[in-house]
Structure 1
Amino acid sequence: MARLTARFWIDAYLTRLRGQDIPAFIVSHGDDTAGSILVKLNRLDGQATVYQRSYNLMDDTRTWAILEQGAEADVDASITRQQGYDPDIWVIEVEDRQGRHLLDQPGLD
């Protein structure tokens, strides 16, 4: 199965968010081709969640799993740790009081 480049996926994701009037921006630019992606959902109330893509090798499916959630400072610390492990990682921040991130929609896995 062919995989999309990280940059292509991010551009499509940001376009989909803009179409729903959900503000989002690139916090950290990773490797354009194969960089891992973290999506931080900032609820603008001091709470946040960071999602990472996880792969199920048994059935070759991808899902978005919560890496960390809670106080925004704790979520940011988790992101910083991940960047220490993987300097090619992308970080996208989505700002939405309603908690919309669209990661559960078709085509974004």
Structure 2
Amino acid sequence: MRLRSDIVVSAMIRRVFAAGGFAAVEQKGMDQAGAIFLRQRFRDGLETLYGPAPQSLADDDTGERRFERRLERVEPQDIDAQMARERRFDPDLWLVELEIDQLGDLFVVVE
């Protein structure tokens, strides 16, 4: 069984703060099943965008959400443009801003 999106986001924000970083919800999506996108900001001004991994890469046994890297270390306006396209397709998505240098085990990234 998969956890609700609002619970996943809330837990992730708490874990980021516990690791010494900062996190905030930039766009609140649908509580139950909104897609979650993560925007990682770096000190040099560049950003990385993570989005939901394809269902074929999901681990059905644990229900854990998995992410794929959509854009890596690009200018903020590139992320803004990508998210504008995503919002046209799915207006109920979540966008969470992360300001932490090392992700560690905050979430699973599939390659």
The TM-score bracket by the shorter chain reads 0.7 to 0.9
Q: Deviating runs (4+, > 6 A) in structure 1?
A: none
Q: Tell me the TM-score normalized by structure 2.
A: 0.81
Say which of 94, 101, 104 aligns to 1:90: 94
> Any unmatched runs of 5+ in structure 1?
none
Matches within 5 A, 1:17-96: 17-57=16-56, 60-61=58-59, 63-69=66-72, 70-96=74-100
Percent same amino acid at aligned positions?
A: 25
Q: CA RMSD in A?
A: 1.8
CA distance 1:76–1:92, change in 2 (3 Å): same
Aligned-pair CA distance for 1:67: 1.2
**Further displaced range: 25-34 or 79-88:** 79-88
Map of 2:62 onto structure 1: none
Q: Deviations over 1:68-109 (max 9, x none)?
A: 23111111211121111100000000113x3x234xx27x34
Q: Secondary structure in 1 aligned to 2:53?
A: strand
CA distance 1:71–1:21, change in 2 (3 Å): same
Number of corresponding residues = 102
Q: Tell me the TM-score normalized by structure 1.
A: 0.83
> Any unmatched runs of 5+ in structure 2?
60-64
Question: Which letter maps to 1:101?
Answer: L
